[in-house]
Structures are given as C-alpha cells and as structure tokens.
Structure 1
C-alpha cells in the first residue's frame, strides 16, 4: 500500500476518534449541566395557586408575585378543560395539578404553568371520555373535587363525601362545608358562628350550590371521587378525630347523635 495513503488513513482515523471523543465529552457535559441545573419541586394536593407560588419562590425558581400575576392573567385557552371556564383571576384554580416536578433553573412562570396544565391533561385521560359522554361540567367536577380534597382525611372517605355533595345539590340544600369557610377566613383550629356568617359567595352555609371556583388544586383521587361518587343517601357527616375518618348519616337525628358522640 502506498505510504502516503497509509499516512492519510491514519490521520483520518485519528480525526474520527478525536471527533467521537469530543462529542462524548460534550454530551456528558450537557447531561451534567442539565442535572446540575434542574430544580425539583413538590406541589402537594390541596394547595391554592398562591401557596404554589410560595413553594416555587422557596425553591428559587420564580417569585410568588410573578407566579400569581401569570396565573391571574392567563389567556391560553388551548386546553379542552379551559374552554368554558370564565376568564377571570380564578381561571386556573383547580387545574394546577399537584405533583413532583423537575424544572430547569431559569424556567418562567408561564413555562411552569404550562407543565402543570399538561400534567393535569395527562392525568385526566381516563376521565375525559366519561366526562364528555355524560355531559359533565369539568369546572364543576374540579370544584367538587377541591371540596373533597380539603374535607377528606382518609382515602376511604372521598367517594362518600362526594356523594354527600351530590345528594345535597340534588335536594337544593346548602353544602355547609367548613373548608369553604376556612378558604374565606384563613386556617383556624375552630370555627365559630361569626365565621359561618361571613358574607362571601364561597360561604356554603349562606349560599346554595357550589362555590364559584375551586378552593384548591385537588389530586387525582379526589377528582376520581367527584367523577365517580359512591351511590348513597348520605346527607351528613362528622369527623371522628380518633380515626381521622368521617361518620356518615342519612337523617338529621342520626347526625345530631354522631355530633354528640364524636365532637367533644
């Protein structure tokens, strides 16, 4: 073989090896860069968008103020579940799906919100057909789910609480859900009669029907319970503090007995 050709081939092989090595180094560097520039954030079930913003600020991603501003002024309706939702500051309430997320450092509030909405859409795949076929109002489903989320201490209670909500709505009874009062007045260990009398569209003691928007961002278990509530005749429930489970009843007389037994 010609010596010149052999030298050329050797140089060519060396060049190829160098390129492959350089590509590998760049690829590894890129992977390491991405790993070191990723921020993990856990958004728990039952958080309001303001609480989500506070969590994001603590993680160092965006400020709570910037996140709230983006949420309250959201205008992207390219999601099937946002089509008929009123275009106000509560538009995204209930749809910012609780989960553990990985965001790149420098992610904007808009990028974060889109990821949360996409995660909601992904988790609703199994329910979408049922909701559409049965002509359920997705906003109302999420409102009910938010009530279940804040009221249920144990998973076993979720579908039963959802059934109480359905039964009261059918009977045109006030829902009388304490979680809606806490949403208005703030977290309190005990609610008093003056709290139950606070004038607000979210006060389910004074107003019949559902509150105007979700009171938190519910998890998939509460959403499933709202979509598929248990079939019961329950109208009342009271918390058993010893078990953290609710005791349900059909009549007011039964309920009064349960209140006397479990509320000390």
Structure 2
C-alpha cells in the first residue's frame, strides 16, 4: 500500500479517535453540569398554589409571584381533567400534584406546572376509568378530596370523612367543614362563632353544597377516598386529640356526646 495513503488513513483514524474522545468529554461535562444544576423540591399534600409557589421560591427556582401569575392565567387545556373546569384563577386548584420533583435551576413556571399536571394525570390512571364509567365530575371529586386532605389527621379516617361529605350532600345539609373557614381567614388554633359567619362562597357553614373550587392540592390517598368513599350512615365527626383520629356519629344526639367527651 502506498505510504502516503497509509499516513493519510492514520491521520483520519487519529482525528476520529480525537472527535470521539472530545464528544465523550463534552457529554460527561454536560451530564455533570445538569446534575449540578438540578434542584429537588418537595410539594406536600394539602398545599395551596400560593404555598407551592413559596416552596419553589425558597428552593431557588421561580419566584412565588411568577408562579402564581402563571397558575392563575393558565391556558393549556390539553388535559382530560381540565375539560369543563371554569376558566378562572382557580382553574388549576387541586390538580398541582403533591410530590418530590427535580427541576433544572432555570426551569420556568410553565415547565414546572406542566410537570405537576402530568404527574396528576399519571397518578389518576387507576381512577380515570371508574370516574368516566360512573360519570363522576372530576372537579367535584378533587374538591371533595381537598376537604378530606385538610380534615383527615390519619389515613384510617379519609374514606369515612368522604362518606360524611357524600351523606350530607345527599340530604342537602351544609358540610360545616372547619377547613373551609381556615381557607378563607387563614390558619387559627381555634375558630369562633364570628369566624363561622364570615361571608364567602367557601363558607360551608353558610352555604350548602361543595365550595366553588378545591381548597388545596390533595394527595393520592385523599383522591382515592373521594372516588371510593366508605359506605356509612355517618353525618357527624369530631377529632379525638389523644389519638388524632376522628370519632363518627349517625345522629346529632350521639355527636353531642362525642363533642362533650373529646372536646375539652
């Protein structure tokens, strides 16, 4: 073989090896850069979108203000569960799925919201067919789940609290859920009669039926409870602060006894 040709081929081979090596180095650097610029953030069950925004800001991602603005002006309806949801600032309430996420430091609010909605969709796979088959209103399911999320102290109570909500709705009785009052006025250790009288569509003491939108973003367990509530005749419940579990009653007379026993 011609010596010049051999030298040329050798140069080509060396060049190819150099390119492959350089590409490998760049790929490794790019991977390391991405890992170094990943931010993990945990969104707990029961957060409002304002609280989610604050968590994202504290984690060094987007500002709370920017996140809230993106949530309240969301326009992407390419999700089955957003069909028919009123197009207002509460549109995404209940659908920003609580979980631990990993985002690039430069992720936008839109990217973050899209990921949360995709995660909600993924976690609803097991319930979607049931919801569709039984013609359940997904927004109402999530509203109920948000009430369960805020009321239930332990998992054992979730399905039973959901049953109370369903039973009260069936007899057109006000839900009288304290969590809706706290949603209106802010967190308080104790609620007074004046708090229960605050005028708001979210006040379930003054208004019958469900509040107009979820009061938080519920987790899977609360959503499952809302989709499959326990079959009970319970109408009332009160928290046993010693066990952190609720005590349920079918009658008002029994409820009064429970209140006297467990509320000191």
Q: TM-score range by the shorter chain?
A: over 0.9
- The 5 A counterparts of 1:241-256 are 241-256=241-256
1:67 maps onto 2:54 in alignment: no
What is the aligned partner in structure 2 of residue 103 from structure 1?
Answer: 103
Between Structure 1 and Structure 2, how many residues are aligned? 264
Shift of 1:2: 4.0
Equivalent residue runs for 1:39-188 within 5 Å? 39-188=39-188
Aligned match of 2:232? 232
* SS, match of residue 257 in structure 1: helix
- Name structure 2 gaps, 5 residues minimum: none
- In the TM superposition, residue 74 of structure 1 has moved relative to its aligned partner by 1.1
Q: Within the alignment, does 1:24 sit opposite 2:63 as a pair? A: no
Counterparts of 1:177 and 1:57, CA distance in 2: 31
Cα distance in 1 for partners of 2:17, 2:88 equals 59
Report the Cα distance in structure 2 between the residues aligned to 1:157 and 1:235, rounded to whole angstroms.
14
In 2, Cα distance between equivalents of 1:89 and 1:9? 66
Per the normalisation by structure 1, the TM-score is 0.98
Q: How far apart, CA to CA, are the structure 2 residues paired with 1:78 and 1:118?
A: 10
- Cα distance in 2, alignment partners of residues 210 and 183 from structure 1: 14
Cα deviation 1:162-196 (Å, max 9, x = unaligned): 00000000011000100001001100000011101
TM superposition score normalised by structure 2: 0.98
**Alignment RMSD:** 1.0
Alignment partners' CA distance in 2, 1:6 and 1:199? 90
5+ residue gaps in structure 1? none
Cα distance in 2 for partners of 1:234, 1:126 equals: 27
User: What is the aligned partner in structure 1 of residue 36 from structure 2?
Assistant: 36
Offset of residue 118 of structure 1: 0.8
Post-superposition shift, 1:12? 2.7
User: For residue 257 of structure 2, what is the aligned residue in structure 1?
Assistant: 257
What SS does structure 2 have at the residue aligned with 1:76?
Answer: coil
